[in-house]
A and B are shown apart, each in its own frame.
Chain A
């Protein structure tokens, strides 16, 4: 089946830098996308979502960009902090079909050094 993938398995940044985590999706029918953060030993936590009728959505220190033309999704974290170190997953869902579930990518491990 179709799946969501991430470009890089790991990303290392310095504290205070901006981080950009990328994701490519293959299902052109997907119309809802979510970024999750998973810390070691914990379940995934919701960060931010975006629907396909939007190109950009901002949260607190995070921004998600959606490029439907090339089926690309990115998560930008401003002023990255050591507490941002985690595995980040993008996920897609076809929001208009009852009963479907999120499809997750493999994840990018973000390491933030002081």
Chain B
């Protein structure tokens, strides 16, 4: 099992550009999450999904979009990148009734 896989690991974007952060899991987990982590801070929830076709906003959803067309994949979309979106992004998943999340290794994004 690969667990939770995130790509890319690093990315530099220019202001106004768009990109998609990929996240896939092979554990057949229903629940998937996107968090961002700013330097010296905890993780803030951006979006989450409780199953294919269902998504919901977290604490800091502005500037992001998600989709969940399959159980395995939960991509995060940035449409118009802003410097405030410079952060490390973590994707996580958990099975039904299992609240110990499995995290990916993160995507470090810099917007200049």
Residues of chain A at the chain B interface (Cβ within 8 Å): 1, 4, 9, 32, 34, 41-46, 49, 89, 93, 95, 98-99, 101-107
Q: Chain B nearest CB: distance from A16 CB in Å?
A: 28
Interface residue tally for chain B (C-beta within 8 Å): 24
Q: How many A-B residue pairs have CB under 8 A?
A: 56
Supposing A98-B50, A101-B33, A104-B43 touch, asked if A34 and B105 sit within 8 A by C-beta, the answer is no
The answer to whether A107 and B42 touch across the interface, beta carbons within 8 angstroms, is yes
* Among all A-B residue pairs, the 3 with the closest Cβ atoms: A43-B103, A104-B42, A104-B43
- The secondary-structure label for the interface of chain A is loop
- Return the chain B residue nearest A106 by Cβ: B42
B52 within 8 A of A: no
The answer to whether B48 and A43 touch across the interface, beta carbons within 8 angstroms, is no
- Return the chain A residue nearest B41 by Cβ: A106
Supposing A42-B105, A42-B106, A44-B90 touch, asked if A99 and B42 sit within 8 A by C-beta, the answer is no
B79 within 8 A of A: no
The answer to whether B103 and A44 touch across the interface, beta carbons within 8 angstroms, is yes
Identify 10 new A-B residue pairs, CB closer than 8 A, beyond the known A34-B99, A34-B101. A1-B59, A32-B99, A43-B106, A44-B101, A45-B103, A46-B102, A49-B99, A95-B99, A104-B43, A104-B44
The answer to whether A93 and B99 touch across the interface, beta carbons within 8 angstroms, is yes
**17 pairs from A and B in contact (CB 8 Å cutoff):** A4-B42, A32-B99, A42-B105, A43-B90, A43-B92, A43-B106, A44-B43, A49-B99, A49-B100, A89-B43, A99-B48, A102-B45, A103-B45, A104-B42, A104-B43, A106-B40, A107-B42
- Return the chain B residue nearest A51 by Cβ: B99
Give every chain A residue within 8 A of B99 (Cβ-Cβ): 32, 34, 49, 93, 95, 102
Supposing A34-B99, A43-B90, A93-B99 touch, asked if A101 and B58 sit within 8 A by C-beta, the answer is yes
